[in-house]
């Protein structure tokens, strides 16, 4: 069995499998070149040959143990009928069809495949072209995190508009989360049918929720998504990433049914090993070290490997690699983890 799958089945390996969040991206010159060729980020996502190419680039260059589908969490709201565009140097923008925040104007969940078909085609191509020992990871944004972008129409420092919506119109917000949960189940199942061997749920803004809201809008949807996938594809593990959830990581790991939990860099590993038994742990190097490199990087990587020895562990960062990271530092990291 492939290394990543062995770890997600509870095995502790002497040398942990390693991949990096956002491993295909702007820090790689070959990515920037393909992105220019595509014309725009969204063209890149929706052109299967090019999305396949950028997914493979970090595998060819570094020999990671897993490849993550090249796509974006915001393609799901786009498939539900929102306008999506990217402002150069700023980030994503989303606009509602018709009236402001009118859930009734969204397209039905069973129509998302009309937009997302090329993404499944990318997965199919990758499952044929990846080296035999590399695991293919599919993904989606978790409902809460996707909702934060839908509510604000863009990225925000504090997720204010979505947090406010929870109080202003609780039933409307719950309805939005239900729609996104159903869409996420459909989207991930299609990725699995196309060849994804593991799926990851990115709840990047989970840390903005109160404990009550975290249970309702992060844990409950994750549990429904995991159950729906387990019912149809029992051998496909789900990795959950409730970023910055703090002590709530424990309840998330215990009650959602995920087989892997991705830890951000604030989580102490000795605490996580005790508090999150029965799941594989992924993480949690500070992404800043990929900018810094050298001894600081090697020492921190070795501390993480040491702290996780004897436990099922997937080496990764605590969040995505940034555009100012250096590919040479990725080489240094692989050396430190593998030797």
Question: What are the catalytic residues?
Answer: 22, 26, 35, 72, 149
Long-range CB pairs of 166-170, under 8 A, 24+ apart, other chains included: 166/213, 166/217
When asked if residue 34 is in the footprint of ligand 1CP (CB under 6 A), the reply is no
When asked if residue 23 is in the footprint of ligand 1CP (CB under 6 A), the reply is yes
When asked if residue 72 is in the footprint of ligand 1CP (CB under 6 A), the reply is yes
Residue of 2, 6, 26, 254 interacting with ligand 1CP (CB under 6 A): 26
Q: Which residue's Cβ lies closest to ligand 1CP?
A: 155
When asked if residue 74 is in the footprint of ligand 1CP (CB under 6 A), the reply is yes
Q: What is the Cα–Cα distance from 35 to 50, expressed in whole angstroms? A: 8
Interaction pattern, residues 214-253, with ligand 1CP; x per rule: CB under 6 A: ----------------------------------------
Residue of 27, 96, 120, 139 interacting with ligand 1CP (CB under 6 A): 139
Closest by Cα among 219, 240, 251 to 314:
240
Query: Angle 40-46-47 (CA atoms, 0-180°, nearest 5)?
Result: 90
When asked if residue 7 is in the footprint of ligand 1CP (CB under 6 A), the reply is no
* Beta carbon nearer to ligand 1CP, 96 or 139: 139
Long-range CB pairs of 269-272, under 8 A, 24+ apart, other chains included: 269/304, 269/307, 269/308, 270/307
DSSP per position, 12-30: --SS--B--TT-SSTTSHH
Token pair recorded at residue 144: 């809460």
Size of residue set near ligand 1CP by CB under 6 A: 21
Token pair recorded at residue 328: 């040479």
* Beta carbon nearer to ligand 1CP, 139 or 165: 139
Give residues in contact with ligand 1CP (CB under 6 A): 21-26, 35, 41, 68, 70-74, 91-92, 139, 155, 202, 204, 320
């Amino acid at each position: 069995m492939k290394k990543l799958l062995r770890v997600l089945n509870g095995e502790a390996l002497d040398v942990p499998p390693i991949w990096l969040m956002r491993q295909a991206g702007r820090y790689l010159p070959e990515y920037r070149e393909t992105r220019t060729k595509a014309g725009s980020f969204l063209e890149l996502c929706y052109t299967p040959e090019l999305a396949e190419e950028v997914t493979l680039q970090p595998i060819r260059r570094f020999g990671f143990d897993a490849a993550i589908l090249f796509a974006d969490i915001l393609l799901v709201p786009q498939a539900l009928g929102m306008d999506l565009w990217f402002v150069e140097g700023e980030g994503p923008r989303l606009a509602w069809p018709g009236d402001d925040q009118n859930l009734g104007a969204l397209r039905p969940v069973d129509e998302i495949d009309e937009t997302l078909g090329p993404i499944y085609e990318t997965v199919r191509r990758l499952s044929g072209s990846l080296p035999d020992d590399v695991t293919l990871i599919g993904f989606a944004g978790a409902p809460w995190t996707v909702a934060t972008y839908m509510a604000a129409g863009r990225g925000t420092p504090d997720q204010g508009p979505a947090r406010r919506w929870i109080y202003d119109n609780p039933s409307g917000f719950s309805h939005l989360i239900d729609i996104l949960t159903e869409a996420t189940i459909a989207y991930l199942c299609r990725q699995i049918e196309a060849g994804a061997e593991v799926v990851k749920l990115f709840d990047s803004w989970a840390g903005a929720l109160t404990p009550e809201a975290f249970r309702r809008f992060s844990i409950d949807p994750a549990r429904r998504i995991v159950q729906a996938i387990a019912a149809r594809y029992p051998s496909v593990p789900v990795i959950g990433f409730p970023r910055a959830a703090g002590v709530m990581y424990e309840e998330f790991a215990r009650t959602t049914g995920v087989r892997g939990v991705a830890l951000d860099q604030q989580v102490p590993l000795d605490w996580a090993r005790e508090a999150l038994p029965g799941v594989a742990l992924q993480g949690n190097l500070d992404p800043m070290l990929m900018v810094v490199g050298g001894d600081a990087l090697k020492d921190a990587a070795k501390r993480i490997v040491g702290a996780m020895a004897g436990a099922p562990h997937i080496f990764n960062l605590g969040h995505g690699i940034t555009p100012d990271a250096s590919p040479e530092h990725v080489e240094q990291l692989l050396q430190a983890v593998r030797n």
